[in-house]
Amino acid sequence: MSIRNIIIAYAAAFLLQITFANNIAVMGTGPDLILVLTIVLCYMYTDCYPVIICGTAFALLHDLLLSPYVGIYALSMLLTGIAVMFASRFFNRENPLPLAGVLAAGTLLCSLVQWIIYAVSPAEGSLMLMLKNLPVLIIYDLIIGLVAFFVVMKYRKRKKKSRYYL
């Protein structure tokens, strides 16, 4: 995936996240589209560094706009991206089944990293509250992640037909 397409995908996910995703929230929790995109792209592509850096940049933007403290979501996104990059080496990248597990584990890891940073900071972060929101967040991320997986697969198949596809 070209860097231009990665940036476009993240820009779309970011704008949807802060404007629309809230409208489909269940019990006060909605999907995390930036995280989903990072996990899916890191899982599907071998060259993950542009994805991780782009995901971190948009997460930082999200922090600036919608977080009391800047950098926490960005750092958790970066660490989740790296973890998914290493984990995906053990799976068949064209199989959606392991992706479901990676999505759930990635969402959990991202939330845990955020909670740990909040817990050691003066801001206070409740583990119980984070765990309470987690099931809905994981379900949402699973659904949207699998949809994104099939969309990217279709895009890749179309690209493969091109004689210049690498």
Could you list the residues that contact other proteins (CB under 8 A)?
Answer: 15, 17-23, 25, 27-33, 35, 49, 52-53, 56, 60-62, 64-75, 78-79, 82, 114, 117, 121-126, 129-130, 132-133, 137
- Read off the amino acid at residue 67: S
Tokens for 166, please give them.
């690498």
Q: How far is the CB of 45 from other proteins (least distance, A)?
A: 14
The distance in angstroms from the start CA to the end CA of the chain is 10
Q: How far is the CB of 113 from other proteins (least distance, A)?
A: 11
CA–CA separation, 120 and 11 (whole Å): 31
Pick 132 or 157: Cβ nearer other proteins: 132
Pick 132 or 159: Cβ nearer other proteins: 132
The number of CA neighbours under 13 Å toward the Cβ of 29 is: 15
